[in-house]
Amino acid sequence: MGLNYSGWIISELYEEHTDIRNLIIYLIFTPAVHLFLVFMHLEREMKMRHQFNNERILEVETEKSEENMGKLVPIHILAGIKNDQQIVD
């Protein structure tokens, strides 16, 4: 009888604090998940901006290179260089 009584007390305590445990887990887990999702969103946006900026820099540098090469070589040779053709003078 004593074993059943102590088991009953333990089960009552467990049931009584289950809601509190769930609340504590919810209060810790939910903000942690939200922070993780925000961090992932910001990381993705940062990578996209980095890629976009690199593409813009590449375009500007390509234009500058073509302009400088246009000053150094004749137009028909420059056209061949742009099209990756072998040009023989």
Overall number of domains in the chain:
1
pLDDT, residue 2, reads 44
Classify residue 73: in a domain, yes or no.
yes
pLDDT, residue 13, reads 55
Tell me the two tokens of residue 72. 């150094």
Classify residue 87: in a domain, yes or no.
no
Classify residue 77: in a domain, yes or no.
yes
Residue 32 belongs to what domain range? 2-82
Classify residue 43: in a domain, yes or no.
yes
- Give CA–CA dist 39/51, Å, rounded: 18
Classify residue 89: in a domain, yes or no.
no
Classify residue 88: in a domain, yes or no.
no
What are the average pLDDT values for consecutive 10-residue runs of the chain, which has 89 residues?
50 64 84 95 97 96 89 82 69
Question: Length of the chain, please?
Answer: 89
pLDDT, residue 72, reads 87
